[in-house]
Chains A and B, each alone.
Chain A
Amino acid sequence: METVIFVLMAAVSIAAALGLLLSKNAIYAALFLILNFGTVAVFYLLLNAPFLAAVQVSVYAGAIMVLFVFVIMLLGAERLQTEDSHGQSWQRPLAVGLGIVLVALTAIVLLGVVAPVAVAATPVDSSPMAIGLALFGPYLFPFEVVSILLLVAMIGAVVLTREK
């Protein structure tokens, strides 16, 4: 059952990513990316991370992508210009070839690392409470640093977009 869900969702996920890569309309690309984020949320559920799945849907597919769609519509940039107007013709095939090399190498390395070890993974308690206790316990300092990072990003966005 889990395998069936994984295979179906993986197909949808890769198709959505390719849709992002190839679509001519920026709004369609954004919608494909939202679909991809949704499938990743399903993977989080399969991987015993229900709270992360909820955060993935609300923060990534919700907040971040709303920002993207908002900016695309604000700029009226949904129709992309003909993208082949300039740039070398050899760049695109080279990018595809190097990309395939990259995925092959990553898969080889990861398969070599992951496959031989066989440890019985005990399911960990990943409830919101356990995550909250870890965030405010051993991870308190990174948590505070991240709050400063968000403040800086907020001030930066306000300063950058202010009308002179």
Chain B
Amino acid sequence: MEATAFVVLSAILFTIGVLGVLIRKNAILIFMSVELMLNSANLAFVAFAHRWGQLDGQLFVFFVMTVAAAEVAVGLALIVTIFRTKRSTDVDDLSQLKG
């Protein structure tokens, strides 16, 4: 199986993740789109690791997964805290800094 196909698929998934961040207004959905982007980057890492016959790409996927887990823990804690004060997870409602 050619690695190019996997990399193009990874680019498509990454783009859908970017679109999710740009289009959706619910903070939880934006977070899930970020997860999709991280996951597509992982797929590219593994595809290249397979392509070059090296293990390093697979090890980087572990570190990316750890960063994703940390990001989700802190991000969801932030969303819960914001929901407690604003009763909403819509990012457009968070406009206190607007002049």
Contacts and interface: CB of A to CB of B under 8 A. Distances in A.
A147 to B, nearest CB: 9
A30 B89 CA distance: 16
Interface residues of B, number: 69
Given A3-B1, A68-B31, A100-B15, 7 more contacts: A21-B16, A33-B36, A47-B49, A71-B76, A99-B22, A121-B50, A153-B74
9 contacts: A6-B6, A30-B32, A47-B50, A49-B49, A83-B25, A149-B67, A153-B74, A154-B73, A156-B74
Interface residues of A, number: 81
B73 A95 contact: no
B35 A33 contact: yes
Contacts of B3: 114
Interface string B49-80: 11111111011011101111111111011111
Contacts of B47: 47
A153 B4 contact: no
The 5 closest A-B CB pairs, nearest first, are A153-B70, A160-B77, A95-B22, A106-B11, A103-B15
A8 B9 CA distance: 12
A87 B4 CA distance: 38
Contact of B16 (A14, A74, A114, A139): A14
Among B18, B58, B77, B78, max chain A CB count under 10 A is at: B58
A157 B32 contact: no
Interface in A19-66: 20-21, 26, 29-30, 33, 36-37, 40, 43-44, 46-49, 51-52, 55-56, 59-60, 63-64
B53 A71 contact: no
